[in-house]
Amino acid sequence: MSAPAPRPDETAVQDFWSERPMIHPGFGFDRKTATPEQIFAHVERLMRHDNWMQAEGQPLLSRFIDYEALRGKTVLDIGYGVGWLVEELQKVAAEVHGIDLSRSHFQYSSYRFRDNPRVKLQIASAEAIPFPDNHFDFVSAYGVLHHAADDQRCYDEVHRVLKPGGRCFLMVYRKGGPKYWYWKMLRQGLLGGGLARHGWNVEKFIYSVTDAYEADSPGAPISRHYVRADIDRLFRRFKSVRAEICGNRHEWDNLPAHRLPLTNWLLPRAVRDWLVTHAGAYWILRLEK
Ligand SMILES: C[S@@+](CC[C@H](N)C(=O)[O-])C[C@H]1O[C@@H](n2cnc3c(N)ncnc32)[C@H](O)[C@@H]1O
């Protein structure tokens, strides 16, 4: 099943994510020889590794998504990737729909849920969600809509397809924390010459190093990083907006200062964990229509 042809700038986004499915290379995992089942298990392991979004053994993102409240509901996951969140949602929801621009994500996830008639996936854009108004009880999009060609249009579409009182969970990139300022801007941008190579155009440079998973891979065509004022503007149609900062431990743990034993003593685990949830690379948004 596929939607009408995407707009020209969406085509670049679609091609990028079709050619580079979210399998997360590295970590000693050879995706070229892996079976789909090994890929699904690998992504699940990575999602659980070192992050703050669920307690051990609990469903992914259960710190933020109340899965019990979704029992018997109609839900939509935007940008489903290889289906790790659809996997959790289908355990409770009556119907799980998914849209994603990526052709390879559609192939992986269609295969994954081939025997589950309650999961219905399409290649389609969040800029024109192919569902009527007030249709869904819940919409999720993890690491997706900051990559969209027209992000505001996507958020307005999410608002349109949610039922009144319906809820939404989003993870989007934040402009802040060591990942943005130290690893990208300072190391790759200033010291590595990336900013100069992009004519000191910060946006172009940041896109070029965001989601560039392999040494020779370009970054995603679009990767917006939001500040708090962007959140207030983009989601003003929603009745309530709860925005929290989150991230991964490695943002802080990999800073060169942490190689010194004294720094580990000065910044013990608990302090670094506090920093992750107050100065990490993600916004976790919980919205209500
Ligand atoms: C970084 S991947 C995230 C995939 C998945 N959520 C995950 O965490 O593995 C970004 C995804 O956003 C999708 N995407 C970007 N713009 C989109 C749009 N306008 N509509 C639907 N999907 C979009 C891409 O196709 C890609 O699958």
Q: What is the CATH number of the domain that holds 142?
A: 3.40.50.150
Taking the centre of ligand 1 as the mean of its atom positions, its distance from the CA of residue 142, in whole angstroms, is: 8
Q: Residues lining ligand 1, judged by CB closer than 6 Å?
A: 13, 17, 22, 78-79, 81, 99-102, 105, 125-127, 142-144, 147-148, 154, 211
- Going residue by residue through the chain (289 aa), what tens digit of pLDDT does each one get? 455 667 779 999 999 999 999 987 666 777 778 899 999 999 998 888 777 789 888 999 999 999 999 999 999 999 999 999 999 999 999 999 999 999 999 999 999 999 999 999 999 999 999 999 999 999 999 999 999 999 999 999 999 999 999 999 999 999 998 889 988 999 999 999 999 999 999 999 999 999 887 766 788 999 999 999 999 999 999 999 999 999 887 777 777 766 666 666 777 778 878 888 888 899 999 999 9
Distances (CA, A) of 211 to 20, 23, 184, 216: 10, 12, 11, 12
Is 269 a member of any domain? no
Return the pLDDT at 10. 94
Taking the centre of ligand 1 as the mean of its atom positions, its distance from the CA of residue 187, in whole angstroms, is: 27
Ligand 1 atom 9: residue of nearest CA: 81
Taking the centre of ligand 1 as the mean of its atom positions, its distance from the CA of residue 12, in whole angstroms, is: 13
Q: How many helices (H) and strands (E) does the chain have?
A: 12, 7
> Taking the CB of residue 272, how many other CB atoms lie within 10 A of it?
17
Range of the domain at 78: 8-173+224-247+283-288
Ligand 1 atom 13: residue of nearest CA: 79
Is 13 a member of any domain? yes
Return the pLDDT at 131. 98
Is 147 a member of any domain? yes
Pocket test for ligand 1, best of 80, 147, 154, 223 (most atoms within 8 A of CB): 147
Strand pairing class (119-123; 74-78)? unpaired
Per the rule left: phi > 0, alpha: psi between -120 and 50, beta: everything else, 100 is beta
Ligand 1 atom 1: residue of nearest CA: 143
Is 24 a member of any domain? yes
Return the ligand 1 atom nearest residue 127 CA: 19
Distances (CA, A) of 244 to 66, 76, 92, 227, 250: 16, 22, 25, 12, 19
Is 189 a member of any domain? no
The DSSP 8-state label assigned to residue 227 in this structure reads -
Taking the centre of ligand 1 as the mean of its atom positions, its distance from the CA of residue 108, in whole angstroms, is: 14
Return the pLDDT at 237. 97
- With b for 16 or more beta-carbon neighbours within 10 A and e for fewer, the 169-183 pattern comes to bbbbbbbbbbbbebb
Structure tokens that stand for 186 in this block? 């300072």
Is 126 a member of any domain? yes
**Chain centre distance of CA 174:** 11
Is 182 a member of any domain? no
Return the ligand 1 atom nearest residue 82 CA: 9
Is 192 a member of any domain? no
Taking the centre of ligand 1 as the mean of its atom positions, its distance from the CA of residue 122, in whole angstroms, is: 13
Taking the centre of ligand 1 as the mean of its atom positions, its distance from the CA of residue 71, in whole angstroms, is: 25
Tokens 């940008």 found at: 79
Question: What end-to-end distance do the CA atoms of the chain give, in Å?
Answer: 29
Number of domains in the chain: 1
Q: What is the pTM of this model?
A: 0.93
Dihedrals phi, psi of 84, to nearest 5 degrees: -65, -35
Return the ligand 1 atom nearest residue 142 CA: 6
Taking the centre of ligand 1 as the mean of its atom positions, its distance from the CA of residue 144, in whole angstroms, is: 4
